[in-house]
Amino acid sequence: MEQYAGVIVDVRADAVNRIFQYRIPAPFKDKIEIGHRVLVPFGRRKLEGYVVELSSELEVEEGKLKDLADLLDPEPIILPSLVELARWMGETYVGLFSEALQYMLPPAFRYGKERVGAKTAQTVTLLVQNPSLRKNAVAQQRIVKILQQEPRLLASDLVKRAKASHAALRALEEQGVIALETSILERKVEWDEIPDPKFTLTAEQEAAVEIIQQELQGRRRPVLLHGVTGSGKTEVYLNVIADVIKKGRQAIVLVPEIALTPQTVNRFAARFGERISVLHSGLSLGERFDQWWKTYHGEVDVVIGARSAVFAPTRKLGLIVLDEEHETTYKQEEGSIRYHTRDVAVKRCELAGGQVVLGSATPALESYHRALKGSYILAELTERVEARPLPGVRVVDMRVQFEQGNRSIFSTELKEALGKLAATCNQAIILLNRRGFSRFVLCRECGEVLGCPNCQVSLTYHQEDDRLHCHYCLHREALPKSCPKCASRFLRQFGVGTEQVQETLTREFPELKSIRLDADTTRRKGAHAAILRRFAQGQAQVLVGTQMVAKGFDFPNVTLVGVLSADLSLNFPDIRSPERTFQLLTQVAGRSGRGEKEGEVIIQSYDPAHFAVRAAQNHDYLEFYRKEIGFRRQLGYPPFRQLTRILCSGPRQAAETAARGIHAYLLSQGFPGQDLFGPAPAPIGKIQGRYRWQIVLKSNDSPSTILRQLPAVEDQVLVTIDIDPLYML
C-alpha cells in the first residue's frame, strides 16, 4: 500500500504548526521512517522538516500532493517515542510541535544559530596510510599529509590547516581514503575520582528499592521517594539503576542544576565508571554534541543532566530519576513550550516504557497529593542513615531581638553559636534568604507584612507610582505612614546582601574564615564547583550564600546552619511562597549534622508562628502539607484547579488591546468572569522595552482546545501561554 509522509517543517511559526503530507518517491520507499530529517518543497522554497507520521490515508487532493525532495540522514535522528512526546508537548502546553521537536535533536541541529556547530563536530579519520592520489589533487594531498601526522581530526580544523575545501574531504571519502564521521573524537567531561563506598542498605533503603522494583516489573506507576535529608536517597537510586543496567536498559538521572551537584555526579561516576554521560550548560557545543551521539549510539548506561536531559536519546529507557523533584528549575520558563520536567518524564515513560522515580525531602505539593491519591506510589525514608538524629532547630523571634536593642543581622543566639564554632574545627552554613528581597514592606516592630485584602499574597512596593500593588487581583493602595496593625512608624523595606553578611561576620568573628556562594561569586565558569571544593576541603569554616547553599550538599563537617530572615520568601507575591519557604528551610536545615557530629540549626524569623516556619522547625512535612493543601483547596489553586497564564507582550497599546481581545474571547467561550483575572499589566510591567499584559485563568480541565484558537493579535505582540506557571512576574 502507498504510504505518505506527514512532515512538520522546521520553522518557528504558528502558521505552519500542522502536519503537511508528501508523497514518498521511489528512491526513498522503504527507507523513510518516523523521525527522519527530510527536505520538502514548500511554496517556492525547500524547507527542512521531520517525518512525524506515515500513513496510507491521503489527506491532500491528489493533484496537490508533492514529492519529498530529499532524505537528509541515513538514520532517523529522532526516536519515534520522542516524536510522540513532542506531539504531546505541543498539545499539552499549547505550543509549536516544531519547537517541541527541537528538544529532541542533537545540540548542533537545533534551529537558530546553533546549526553552524554541526560541521565542527564532524571528525575525519585516515583509513589508508599511503594512498595513491591524482597528481593535480594538491588539496587532497595536503589533507593526507596532515592526517599522516595526526590520524584523527575535526573536519573544520583540518580544512583550515590544509587550506582545502569540504569538497576535497568528500572526494577523499569517496575514494575510501578517509572516513567522515559525526564526532568520534571524544571530549571528556570532568568529574572527581572518588572511591565508591559500597554501603549495606538500611532496612528503609532496602524497602524503598523493593517498592520501586515492584512497580518496575508491574504497573510502572511513578514512585515518590520521600526521604528526610540525609536518609540516603542517592544510594537508593544507585541500587535501582544498577539493576536496570543489569537488565540491559538505560537510566536518566535528572538533577536541578548540575553545577550545584558535583557531589552527586561524582557518586554516579564512582559507581558506573565510564559508561555515564554528563550533560551540563558548562559544556561546549562540541562536547554536548559528543554526549548526545554517545547516548544515541547506545554507548552509555546512565545520562546525568539538568532539565533537558529528560530528552536524551536513550533507546532502551528503563528509568528516569528526578532528584530534588520539588525544585523550580524543573520548569521550563522560556519559549512556547513551558513544560514541567516531572510531567514530561512521566509521559515519556508511558510512551517508551520505563519507570519514574521522584525523590525529595520536601516533595512538591502536587506530587504528594498524587501519591496520596494513588496515581503515584509512595516510598518513605523516615530516618537518617546510621540512625543519626535530625538537627535540633531553634527559631529566634527577630521582633524580640529588635525590642531588646539588637540591630545586628545576627541574633544573640546565632552569635553565641558562631562564637562556639570558632573554637572547634566544625563548619557552618549561613543562608541569606533573598527571594522577595526589598519588594515588600515589613513592620520591624510587630512583623506585620502589608498584604492584599482580597488575596493571600503580600503587596509589592512599586517605585514608579509609589504605591503598593497586588499582582493577582490588581488591588492598589498608597504606602501607609504607619503600621496598620500596631501603628509603629518602623515600616521598612528589608534589604541586606550576602556581601554585607560576610563583612559583618568577619568584623565580629575575625577568626572565622568564610567563603561566599551567590550569583556574584559564581559568574565564572567552574566557580561553583571550585567554591564547594574549597569548603569541602576545609579551606573556609563558614559558607555564606543565597538559596544556592541549600541544595543537596553533603558536608559531614557542618554542624551549624543559620538562616537570616527566614520569612523573606513568605512575602513574595506568589501562591507558592509558603511552600518555597518550607522547602528552603527544611533543605538548608538538612545540611547540618550529616556526619558523626550532631548538628544544630538557628532560624531567624519575623513570623515564627507561621505554619511553614513551624513545620520546618519540627521537620514535619505532613504538618505543612495538611495546612497548605487546605488553603489550595479553598482557593481553587493547583493541584485542585489548573492555572493558566496568558501573557501578551509588545508595544504598550498593542499589548493591552491583545489582552483585552483575548479576555473577551475567553468570556465568550463560557469561562465565568470570577475565574478570569485581568486583563491587567503583569507585575513586571515592562521588560526590555516591551509592555506586558496578562490574563490568569482558573479552570477544572485543561483548556487547551480553547487556547489553541485565541483570536489573532497584532504582529508585534507575542502571546505566551503558561500552564500552571511557577511564577507570574
**Residues in contact with ligand ADP by the rule CB under 6 A:** 197, 199-202, 205, 227, 229-235, 385-386, 552, 554
Residue whose CB is less far from Zn ion, 161 or 489:
489
Q: Which does 202 bind (CB under 5 to 8 A by kind): Zn ion, ligand ADP, none?
A: ligand ADP
Site for Zn ion contains 166 (CB under 5 A): no
The set of residues, in sequence order, having a beta carbon less than 8 Å from that of 248 and lying 6+ positions away, is 316
Phi (first) and psi of residue 650, to 5 degrees: 160, -160
Residue whose CB is less far from Zn ion, 586 or 604:
604
Residue whose CB is less far from ligand ADP, 92 or 234:
234
Contacting residue, 60, 116, 372, 486, with Zn ion by CB under 5 A: 486
Residue whose CB is less far from ligand ADP, 256 or 661:
256
Could you tell me which of 146, 172, 167 has the C-alpha nearest to residue 157?
146
Site for Zn ion in 401-460 (CB under 5 A): 443, 445-446, 448, 452, 454-455
**Is 514 within 8 Å of 505 (Cβ atoms)?**
yes
Site for Zn ion contains 485 (CB under 5 A): yes
**Is 448 within 8 Å of 494 (Cβ atoms)?**
no
Q: Which does 385 bind (CB under 5 to 8 A by kind): Zn ion, ligand ADP, none?
A: ligand ADP
**Strands 355-360 and 317-323: what pairing?**
parallel
Helix axes 233-246, 262-272, angle to 10 degrees: 40
Residue whose entry in the numeric block shows the C-alpha cell 545576627: 410
| Site map 80..99 versus Zn ion, x via CB under 5 A | --------------------
- DSSP H helices in 281-353: 285-296, 341-352
Tell me how crowded residue 172 is: count the other CB atoms within 10 A of its CB.
Answer: 27
Q: Which long-range contacts (CB under 8 A, 24 or more apart) does 535-540 make?
A: 535/427, 538/425, 538/427, 539/513, 539/515, 540/427, 540/513, 540/514, 540/515
Site for Zn ion contains 473 (CB under 5 A): yes
Q: How far apart are CA 231 and CA 270, in angstroms?
A: 20
Q: Closest separation between CB of residue 548 and ligand ADP, Å? A: 17
Contacting residue, 187, 221, 435, 475, with Zn ion by CB under 5 A: 475
Q: How far apart are CA 211 and CA 205, in angstroms?
A: 10
The region of 33-41, 78-86, 481-489, 679-687 touching Zn ion under the rule CB under 5 A is: 481-489
Q: Which three cell numbers stand for residue 378?
A: 509512595
Q: How far apart are CA 289 and CA 11, in angstroms?
A: 22
Residue whose CB is less far from Zn ion, 485 or 708:
485
Residue whose CB is less far from ligand ADP, 199 or 490:
199
The 3-class SS string of 3-70 reads CEEEEEECCCCHHHCCCEEEECCHHHCCCCCCCCEEEEEECCEEEEEEEEEEECCCCCCHHHCCECCE
Residue whose CB is less far from ligand ADP, 71 or 589:
589
**Is 724 within 8 Å of 702 (Cβ atoms)?**
no
**Is 108 within 8 Å of 122 (Cβ atoms)?**
no
Please calculate the CA angle 274-276-280 and round it to the nearest 5 degrees: 125
What does the buried/exposed string (b/e) look like for 669-682 if buried means 16 or more CB atoms within 10 Å of the residue's CB? Answer: eebeeeebbbbbbb
Q: Closest separation between CB of residue 454 and Zn ion, Å? A: 4
Residue whose CB is less far from ligand ADP, 444 or 594:
594
Q: Which does 489 bind (CB under 5 to 8 A by kind): ligand ADP, Zn ion, none?
A: none
Q: Which does 201 bind (CB under 5 to 8 A by kind): Zn ion, ligand ADP, none?
A: ligand ADP
Q: Which does 229 bind (CB under 5 to 8 A by kind): Zn ion, ligand ADP, none?
A: ligand ADP
Q: Which does 483 bind (CB under 5 to 8 A by kind): Zn ion, ligand ADP, none?
A: Zn ion
Ramachandran bin of 584, using left for φ above 0, alpha for ψ from -120 to 50, beta for the remaining angles: alpha
Q: Closest separation between CB of residue 262 and ligand ADP, Å? A: 13
**Strands 476-478 and 467-469: what pairing?**
antiparallel
Q: Closest separation between CB of residue 233 and ligand ADP, Å? A: 4
Q: Which does 552 bind (CB under 5 to 8 A by kind): ligand ADP, Zn ion, none?
A: ligand ADP
Q: How far apart are CA 515 and CA 429, in angstroms?
A: 10
Residue whose CB is less far from ligand ADP, 132 or 200:
200
Q: Which three cell numbers stand for residue 214?
A: 515492584
Q: Closest separation between CB of residue 475 and Zn ion, Å? A: 5
Q: Closest separation between CB of residue 384 and ligand ADP, Å? A: 7
- Determine the residue type at 465: D
Q: Closest separation between CB of residue 205 and ligand ADP, Å? A: 6
Helix (H, G, I), strand (E, B) or coil at 196: coil
Q: Which does 470 bind (CB under 5 to 8 A by kind): ligand ADP, Zn ion, none?
A: Zn ion
Q: Which does 455 bind (CB under 5 to 8 A by kind): ligand ADP, Zn ion, none?
A: Zn ion
Site for Zn ion contains 572 (CB under 5 A): no
DSSP 199-218: PPPPHHHHHHHHHHHHHHHT
Q: Which does 661 bind (CB under 5 to 8 A by kind): ligand ADP, Zn ion, none?
A: none
Q: Closest separation between CB of residue 483 and Zn ion, Å? A: 3
Q: Which does 488 bind (CB under 5 to 8 A by kind): Zn ion, ligand ADP, none?
A: Zn ion
Please calculate the CA angle 662-667-671 and round it to the nearest 5 degrees: 115
Q: Closest separation between CB of residue 462 and Zn ion, Å? A: 14
Q: Which does 713 bind (CB under 5 to 8 A by kind): ligand ADP, Zn ion, none?
A: none
Q: Closest separation between CB of residue 487 and Zn ion, Å? A: 7
Q: Closest separation between CB of residue 250 and ligand ADP, Å? A: 22
Site for Zn ion contains 488 (CB under 5 A): yes
**Is 8 within 8 Å of 14 (Cβ atoms)?**
no
Q: Closest separation between CB of residue 385 and ligand ADP, Å? A: 4
Q: Which does 527 bind (CB under 5 to 8 A by kind): ligand ADP, Zn ion, none?
A: none
Q: Bridge partners of 697?
A: 644, 676
Q: Closest separation between CB of residue 409 and Zn ion, Å? A: 20
Residue whose CB is less far from Zn ion, 347 or 469:
469
Residue whose CB is less far from Zn ion, 311 or 472:
472
Which residues of this chain interact with Zn ion, rule CB under 5 A? 443, 445-446, 448, 452, 454-455, 470, 472-473, 475, 483, 485-486, 488
